[in-house]
Structure 1
Amino acid sequence: MRVSPGIFYMLASTALLALVNVAVKKLTDLPTAEIIFARCLISLVLTVWQLHRTDTPILGPPKARFNLLGRGVFGAGSIILGFLALKALPLGAAATLSYLAPVVTAVAAIWLIGEPLKPWQWLFYAMAVGGVVVAKGTAGLLSAGVLLGVGSAVSSGVSSVFLRRAGDKIAPLVPVFYFNVVPLAISAVWMLFDLKLPHGIEWAWLLLAGVFTHVALWCVTHAFQKQQANFVAALDYLGLIYATALGYFVFGDKVKFSVYPGIALLLVGVGLNAWYTSRQEQKKETAS
């Protein structure tokens, strides 16, 4: 079976962002604002350089700038809240909460870009969310870390819808520019009140976080331009497997037995949604 470009780019992005989370967890002694600033600065420099090389207007088409700015603002909320959640929670738990974002994307896409969900897709998403709940458990649902994670997921979901609304005629690096410049400005001010210079291996982790983020965002933009938002968003759930494995092998996080049926339910929901969406697209092509 041939893997479509949208699926390939989303899978690559999910894997890279899982590695970014590892880098952030390794930087336990650095302030959150400093990590966000370094990550966004590295990605922004690479973005501007590449846009300049191709003579691409950095701000994008005038008609798309509102949606691009929305992508940047809600993306900033996702980054800041997500990094704070990573500081407060184990890697697997923080990543699990982030997978509420595809649900927000799919639901918001109904009203903002007119991409409706079929009744069966609601069931498949319910299965995926149920898998997240089973894997995470209900302990500490109202803790600060959990609330930060949920806030990050909501911001991420809305940000993805703004990206889809911006359209597929925009150079993939233009949305990446907006996604970096807004949190960079916020973290620059925040960092003035909490500054600590990195040492030794911390420089390497910061560099990896910035480079991997840059490539991941480029992949995300390609994915949402080439595939329906609700379909691409569902693939993001597969990152839970990466996060669970990395948390276990890299940080020694304990994996509860409930995680396994949770992941299984999650994968079934994602797989059925992918299969159903593919069938619907084939029917449309046949009818036309």
Structure 2
Amino acid sequence: MWFTLSLIFAQANGTESVPFEPGEALQISQRAWREALEDRPQLVTLSASSNQGDSRSQMLEERLRLLEAKAFSNREWKVYWERQASTARAYADELSRAGVPDGAAKARGLRDWANLSNRKIENQDVYLEAVVTERDALENAIDATDQVEDSKRAQENKPLVSTHENPLHRHRRYLDELDRRLKGQNAKRMVAEADDAMVERQIQSTGILVKAQEIDSKLAAEELRIAKEQSKSSLANTIPWSVEYAGYWSERAKEIQQKFARLKEDLRGQLRQLK
């Protein structure tokens, strides 16, 4: 529901009031900010688990798809907060110029929101670093696993040895068999090395992720502070627009409170993984 920009101003003599008609610039900036605020991307978490019956290759591929989705989601959230920063600041500037009752306080809150958005943008880069750190190691593990699978298929598809083969053919087949076994052993060694590297990178990734979540928790607390400040009853609390403005931020504060609780729980889970 759009804010109702129908404000009642007391005239200079204090005995008569006239309706406030917002200018086009104020209406446009308000609409742009609200649309940007409501256009939230889908939230992707890394807590999804694979089916127990999946093969190693399937689990790795599924994890890689999840990481790719998370990377895409983080880029979307970065764009989201970039729009928040620009539209909130533009709306604050128009509020300051429009002479809205308590407009200065509202403008300060929106500028705080714009500054918060800039810090959110920076933190999205930290999240992305965590995703890329694990993704690179995962791709190496998938390559190594594919080599093992190729080696197994080669073993399964090798032709049967004929009793009528001459000694030269049997010798060549024997050498081929040794070569296949050697490749199989090398592939298994590569898998073991890739697994070690993947575990090490996952630990690094978790550490980076914890850092991002700690920052996000602090930013969520700042979000909550701004929302609560903006939802307070103002000196102009009888003006419909101010009442609706405060009511909107009150609902936003409830959403942020729930998100804050989820962030703290996710952070505790990541910290347990590091122990």
TM-score, reference length from structure 2 = 0.30
Q: Which protein, 1 or 2, shows the higher relative CO under an 8 Å CA cutoff with sep ≥ 6?
A: 1
